[in-house]
Amino acid sequence: MQCARVWRGLNSLCRVGHHRAWKRTQSHTAAARLDLSGIYPPIATPFTAKEDVDYEKLEENLQKYAKIPFKGLVVQGSNGEYPYLTEEERVEVVRAVKQSLGAGKLLMAGSGCESSRATVQLTEKMAAAGADAVLVVTPCFYKGKMDSRALIHHFTKVADSSPVPVVLYSVPANTGLELPLDAVVQLSQHPNILGVKDSGGDITRIGLIVHKTKAQDFQVLAGSAGFLMAAYCVGAVGGVCALANVLGQELCELERLCVSGCWEEARVLQQRLIEPNAAVTRKLGVPALKQAMEWFGFHGGSCRSPLQPLTEAEIQQLRRDFSSNGWL
Amino acid sequence: MQCARVWRGLNSLCRVGHHRAWKRTQSHTAAARLDLSGIYPPIATPFTAKEDVDYEKLEENLQKYAKIPFKGLVVQGSNGEYPYLTEEERVEVVRAVKQSLGAGKLLMAGSGCESSRATVQLTEKMAAAGADAVLVVTPCFYKGKMDSRALIHHFTKVADSSPVPVVLYSVPANTGLELPLDAVVQLSQHPNILGVKDSGGDITRIGLIVHKTKAQDFQVLAGSAGFLMAAYCVGAVGGVCALANVLGQELCELERLCVSGCWEEARVLQQRLIEPNAAVTRKLGVPALKQAMEWFGFHGGSCRSPLQPLTEAEIQQLRRDFSSNGWL
Amino acid sequence: MQCARVWRGLNSLCRVGHHRAWKRTQSHTAAARLDLSGIYPPIATPFTAKEDVDYEKLEENLQKYAKIPFKGLVVQGSNGEYPYLTEEERVEVVRAVKQSLGAGKLLMAGSGCESSRATVQLTEKMAAAGADAVLVVTPCFYKGKMDSRALIHHFTKVADSSPVPVVLYSVPANTGLELPLDAVVQLSQHPNILGVKDSGGDITRIGLIVHKTKAQDFQVLAGSAGFLMAAYCVGAVGGVCALANVLGQELCELERLCVSGCWEEARVLQQRLIEPNAAVTRKLGVPALKQAMEWFGFHGGSCRSPLQPLTEAEIQQLRRDFSSNGWL
Amino acid sequence: MQCARVWRGLNSLCRVGHHRAWKRTQSHTAAARLDLSGIYPPIATPFTAKEDVDYEKLEENLQKYAKIPFKGLVVQGSNGEYPYLTEEERVEVVRAVKQSLGAGKLLMAGSGCESSRATVQLTEKMAAAGADAVLVVTPCFYKGKMDSRALIHHFTKVADSSPVPVVLYSVPANTGLELPLDAVVQLSQHPNILGVKDSGGDITRIGLIVHKTKAQDFQVLAGSAGFLMAAYCVGAVGGVCALANVLGQELCELERLCVSGCWEEARVLQQRLIEPNAAVTRKLGVPALKQAMEWFGFHGGSCRSPLQPLTEAEIQQLRRDFSSNGWL
């Protein structure tokens, strides 16, 4: 593709090497680190009318996702309703996804629990079920006590014992707390902690994480499609985006434009994705994500209670947020 | 006691009957409602050095609590570290407490989970294990979607199927959301929902809950010792107070003073409890509660990770908050 | 009134003297301190159609307020739209109120500005215009820097030079910051700082302020009618309540019931005031206060822009909040 | 410069024209709009030891700023301590700056007050004193009532009567409220409202503002250096950055790199600016900005009270934030 070629030419004029190339040459261990760069949908969990996991519909979704150039899948992220699944269900869904996942695709499994001991145990089960890496959310119930000291202790304990690499996960909209920057920086030095998924959207913080962890080849993933381009701009290497369940091809295209330096084209695409993304996350949540999936040929269906189906007015709002940006 | 007698005389002069008496005569069902009025410690869970539940130490604490005129015990409240226990442990601790609990004491068990189906199931197990009532916390992970509609649906589903009465539980410091007033008011009409434990401390809201549910004989419990007297003043009937694990006798005395109208004496005692209470809750949390328990003859010990032991500076702060108020 | 007599009897049985009597005997200076106890309306400022101060309508309101047993008036509190008045207007309104104020009524004038020098100057002008005391709000624009050190410095500077006593004013709903407890405690030792108006509504904090300043005869005023009874219960001596512009007689009656120990009767009245109070403050603000004033025979009128008149739906909501509690 | 030439070549390959070129060809009025693109320091106000405005030191700072390729200066932004100046001082400082300002440099003057009438009047005075445009902050004291309706009314009134173009100003860290997106979009259609300075740092919102106002040639300025590059990336045209008082040349260089598409080089520079910027804004505020100005050859000095000088520990922290990034 010509754009990328000129981009490389441009960069040499700017006298700074290409970011991802530069990252690859730096590695603080001899062993190769897992390359997380790329786009991941944090897949939704389809349920039957009785609220049981619907493995058939899940499988059909997976077959469609297989045709999209995702780097891999996140299973049991916030959009997978993991807090509503039993531990057994969480592991079983990972096992099911693993069986159907194509070669070369990464499976990142959410294994975070409130206690360190439960997280350690679930992490082991996730690895045994086939996870290539685990995504570990910050414990949050005792949020007043979840300072850097406690969180560093927790993630270190989990990473020490985990058979697979660990990715930190900060999602303040759900947890009510942000993994502090100094904790991220210190944890980035752990050989089994590869990166962070940051869903807070504070781009200054994301830039600073990249800056302060650059000696560690620490990989930052944007946690939402709304700031994906800006995150690439300041040094992120990929994104775990709810919207990728719906507009996966388009998010992979946005990735391609950012990585190859086509920022103008990227901007136009990025802007059209902000409102649909807000609709399926912050504004209307998982029920909206699942509704939009239906419109785009995937199985969404309803959520487990207490998550409620959208009202008619919310469905119309959701439709407007897609249609006014040319997606419906 | 003379104070109470004069208080009754005073009230007749004020031309308004005594609140608790009035509550007792009103019942929107023929069946007698469980009277929740009184003080409850939300008991801490002692652990061994390996972080297993220490049933022996728990038993020793229970024997000491038996000598204090508590109305009952709350098991698996926030101070019991319930988010760090497995479902089996949660039920087993309730069973253990039930076996040792004296006649006439209520056992209120925390059975809240994130999903409605898990909460329904755990509620049944808690009832089978001996709970007289269940305390059900608001689900909170998808806090942006936990509006009145979702929460009314959730609590109704749980209360419909629960073999024992349900007490609502709003604890915004941990969950990041407050059970909305209109939801409380609507849920107060459910025959199997008896009351609410409100830990938010907004006394205007507590007064308004009492006001808007007075036709339902709905019982409001203060969720913290810091505003216990004020809550009694505006119409609460009791309190579930972390500090009761440490200064249980004193909180029962505060209850007595409030109920018998000795407001001046109550105020003096209440004021001395605010700083110790803040220390073991908002400021230093469960590790401080457990540390203070040790000083007052109970078994506290350490918490499950990621909750960390207090630092030396924090221990000194904690000691000051008790000693400067004359408790140490 | 008999109630008060029995109340005194009751208190002797409880072995603790009456709070206000006790306060009066304690004084850390030889000079008599100004007794702030009682109810104050923070009076609204009427405007003409052209948004000029309407001194005639103000005068008519004052004549009606003169018949209510208020302890005094607060002029240029938040409900007086002081941020929308020029410095000259602020002083002129105080002068106008002073001329019409009956003997024995206190005039407390808001003199807070963002800078210390402007506050010092305006305080002097307010005293010259006839203020008996000044109410000084926390500066708030640089809220990240308004820590205890800065605020203690500010209030000390103002109190050092003020010809009249100073009352601190914490109103987080407007300023976005709360005067820290440790600053209140330290400032309570200043001989020219008499008390605090606390509009935050955190009853635990109000109780703690009373507790930690009791050696200084520091006077705490509740900043809103929603928690007036609870504030009396924990030791406040009065209230500055927006709602007193509308239901002044009723708030003075609530004061009387609290002070004479008729808590049951007080509770019934307090509960009926919560929703009307919320409507004219937090929910619908100054435009609602002015609308309600019209319904109750006072001149309210419109606000200065950018405060907008209520919508029709808001007016109906406001009416419901009064009528459902039996006030309309 | 070669980088820019290749950048243009690259863009044609990406099939999307250069953003700023494209903006310039679109104009919804026949008249030419003021081009705001570029970097502006919101200049600090030096004071004498007695806290009077020090016009001599101001003049010396201006002479140094004249050598830096700023697009212009912002006078009476948040960093100019405008809430601590009288109206006369605010105007006088603008007049002084105008006299010394070189040809071709824009003077943007802060004219926002709480009331619409005061803002209208001060805007006129600012224009008369030589302002090329005014920066109008959201009124914020009655934040509960400052919804889109009130804010649209306010800014429309100001823009209708202003002799010079208006730039909206949203700075939630100080005001406690964000100018709502729908208000920005509607106000962008006013012929006398040119753009917005957004200091909130929510890059998703900034991208969406650009997207939803693109038919209006509405110009977005980043309100802080921490997210300047990301803001350019999503379509902003410049920045008003406190840090430009200290590292003005460097911020102009960052602008050049972003505008000419040298994103890799830009990223390296941007990353080194995040911590110094946070230090002089969010973390340590205006006193830190003024301290750092001293280190870099400008006159900073102290702030007006209640803003306090930095403690020794804060000065060391500030120094570290500059030195660890290679600036000291």
A198-255 pLDDT, tens digit each: 999 999 999 999 999 999 989 999 999 999 999 999 999 999 999 999 999 999 999 9
Name the band, by pLDDT with cuts 50, 70 and 90, for residue A33.
Answer: confident
CB atoms B13 and C19 under 8 Å: no
Residues of D in contact with C149 (CB under 8 A): 308
Average pLDDT, chain C: 92
Give the residue numbers of C marked as catalytic: 169, 197
Which stretch of DSSP H or E encloses residue C90? helix C87-100
pLDDT of residue D33: 86
The CA distance from C80 to C109, in Å, is 10
A87, A116, A142, A280, best to mutate vs chain B, most B CBs in 10 Å: A142
The CA distance from A184 to A207, in Å, is 13
Residues of D in contact with A224 (CB under 8 A): 204
Tokens for D217? 């040639």
Domains of chain D and CATH, by start: 38-260 (3.20.20.70)
Asked if B36 and B219 touch (Cβ cutoff 8 Å), the reply is yes
Q: Interhelix angle for C248-259 vs C263-278, to 10°?
A: 150
Residues of D in contact with A278 (CB under 8 A): 204
Average pLDDT, chain B: 92
Asked if C241 and C224 touch (Cβ cutoff 8 Å), the reply is yes
The CA distance from B36 to B135, in Å, is 12
CB pairs under 8 A between B and C: 137
* Three-state secondary structure readout of A202-229: EHHHHHHHHHHCHHHCCEEEECCHHHHH
In DSSP terms, D108 is beta-bridged to D74, D133
Would you call A181 an interface residue with chain D, using a CB distance cutoff of 8 Å? no
Q: Which residues of chain D have pLDDT under 70?
A: 1-32
C271-327 pLDDT, tens digit each: 999 999 999 999 999 999 999 999 999 999 999 999 999 999 999 999 999 999 999
Of residues D32 and B187, more confidence is placed in: B187
CA of A87 vs chain B CAs: smallest distance (Å)? 10
Name the band, by pLDDT with cuts 50, 70 and 90, for residue C33.
Answer: confident
Percent of chain B with pLDDT over 70: 90
Chain B residue with CA closest to A140: the answer is B174
Would you call A272 an interface residue with chain D, using a CB distance cutoff of 8 Å? yes
CB atoms B227 and C204 under 8 Å: yes
Would you call D286 an interface residue with chain C, using a CB distance cutoff of 8 Å? yes
Among D230, D236, D200, D203, which Cα is nearest to D218's?
A: D236
Q: Which of B197, B214, B232, B290 is catalytic?
A: B197
In DSSP terms, D72 is beta-bridged to D106
Tokens for A155? 């993630």
Among candidates B153, B154, B285 on the partner chain, residue whose Cβ is nearest the Cβ of A144: B285
pTM above 0.80, yes or no: yes
Percent of chain B with pLDDT over 90: 89
Would you call B273 an interface residue with chain C, using a CB distance cutoff of 8 Å? no
Would you call A230 an interface residue with chain D, using a CB distance cutoff of 8 Å? yes
Of residues A19 and D154, more confidence is placed in: D154
Burial class (CB in 10 A: 0-12, 13-18, 19+), D89: middle
Would you call A28 an interface residue with chain B, using a CB distance cutoff of 8 Å? no
CB pairs under 8 A between A and B: 103
Bridge pairing between strands A238-240 and B38-40: unpaired
Among candidates C84, C150, C175 on the partner chain, residue whose Cβ is nearest the Cβ of D115: C84
Q: Which of B71, B169, B232, B290 is catalytic?
A: B169
Residues of A in contact with D262 (CB under 8 A): 10, 13-14, 16
Among D180, D227, D230, which Cα is nearest to D199's?
A: D227
Asked if B92 and B53 touch (Cβ cutoff 8 Å), the reply is yes
C19, C237, C259, C263, best to mutate vs chain B, most B CBs in 10 Å: C263
Do D and A touch (≥3 CB pairs < 8 Å)? Answer: yes
Residues of B in contact with C200 (CB under 8 A): none
Among C157, C99, C98, C105, which Cα is nearest to C131's?
A: C98
pLDDT of residue A180: 98
Q: Is the pLDDT of residue C7 over 80?
A: no
Asked if D43 and D75 touch (Cβ cutoff 8 Å), the reply is yes
CB atoms B144 and A173 under 8 Å: yes
Among candidates A114, A143, A144 on the partner chain, residue whose Cβ is nearest the Cβ of B84: A114
The CA distance from B149 to C5, in Å, is 50
Average pLDDT over residues A135-159: 98
Average pLDDT, chain A: 92
pLDDT of residue D24: 36
Q: Which of D169, D212, D214, D232 is catalytic?
A: D169
What are the binding residues of B for pyruvate? 240
Burial class (CB in 10 A: 0-12, 13-18, 19+), C317: middle
Average pLDDT over residues B322-327: 98
The CA distance from D120 to D139, in Å, is 13
- Chains contacting C with at least 3 CB pairs below 8 Å? B, D
Chain B residue with CA closest to A287: the answer is B145
CB atoms B207 and C230 under 8 Å: yes
Helix (H, G, I), strand (E, B) or coil at A9: helix
Chain D residue with CA closest to A276: the answer is D208
Among candidates A117, A287, A306 on the partner chain, residue whose Cβ is nearest the Cβ of B153: A306
- Chains contacting B with at least 3 CB pairs below 8 Å? A, C
Burial class (CB in 10 A: 0-12, 13-18, 19+), C17: middle
C87-107 pLDDT, tens digit each: 999 999 999 999 999 999 999
Query: In sequence order, which residues have a C-beta less than 8 Å from that of residue C68 and are 6 or more positions away?
Result: C248, C249, C252
Would you call B180 an interface residue with chain C, using a CB distance cutoff of 8 Å? no
The alpha carbon of residue C223 and the mean position of all alpha carbons in its chain are separated, in whole angstroms, by 5
Among candidates D6, D15, D211 on the partner chain, residue whose Cβ is nearest the Cβ of A271: D211
The conformation of residue C161, written as its DSSP 8-state character, comes to H
CB atoms B271 and C13 under 8 Å: no
pLDDT of residue A29: 43
What is the rounded radius of gyration, in angstroms, for the C-alpha atoms of chain D? 19
CB atoms C145 and D308 under 8 Å: yes
Peptide bond preceding B306 in cis form (omega within 30 of 0): yes
**Cα angle value B29/B35/B39 (rounded, 5°):** 155
Would you call A237 an interface residue with chain D, using a CB distance cutoff of 8 Å? no
Would you call D227 an interface residue with chain A, using a CB distance cutoff of 8 Å? yes
Chain C residue with CA closest to D176: the answer is C176
CB atoms A274 and D208 under 8 Å: yes
The CA distance from C130 to D41, in Å, is 44
Chain A residue with CA closest to D181: the answer is A275
Name the band, by pLDDT with cuts 50, 70 and 90, for residue A3.
Answer: low
In DSSP terms, B170 is beta-bridged to B198
Tokens for A209? 């994480």
Would you call B202 an interface residue with chain C, using a CB distance cutoff of 8 Å? yes
Q: Is A212 a catalytic residue?
A: no
What are the binding residues of C? 240
Would you call D173 an interface residue with chain C, using a CB distance cutoff of 8 Å? yes
Tokens for B77? 């409240």
pLDDT of residue D3: 52
Q: Which amino acid is at A216?
A: Q
Instruction: Note the helical H segments in chain B.
Output: 2-13, 19-25, 55-65, 87-100, 116-128, 148-161, 172-175, 181-187, 203-212, 228-234, 248-259, 263-278, 285-295, 312-323
The CA distance from A141 to A125, in Å, is 23
Would you call D146 an interface residue with chain C, using a CB distance cutoff of 8 Å? yes
Residues of A in contact with B286 (CB under 8 A): 142, 145
B190-249 pLDDT, tens digit each: 999 999 999 999 999 999 999 999 999 899 999 999 999 999 999 999 999 999 999 999
Residues of D in contact with A19 (CB under 8 A): 264, 267
The CA distance from C175 to D152, in Å, is 22
CA of A85 vs chain D CAs: smallest distance (Å)? 31
pLDDT of residue B3: 52
Q: Is the pLDDT of residue A293 over 90?
A: yes
Q: Is the pLDDT of residue C20 over 50?
A: no
Do C and A touch (≥3 CB pairs < 8 Å)? Answer: no
State the residue for tokens 């300025």: D221
Asked if C224 and C26 touch (Cβ cutoff 8 Å), the reply is no
Q: Which of A23, A197, A232, A290 is catalytic?
A: A197
The CA distance from A316 to A319, in Å, is 5
Would you call A185 an interface residue with chain D, using a CB distance cutoff of 8 Å? no
Chain C residue with CA closest to D141: the answer is C174
Do B and A touch (≥3 CB pairs < 8 Å)? Answer: yes
Q: How many CB atoms lie within 10 A of CB D186?
A: 17
The CA distance from A72 to C92, in Å, is 70
Q: Is the pLDDT of residue A171 over 80?
A: yes
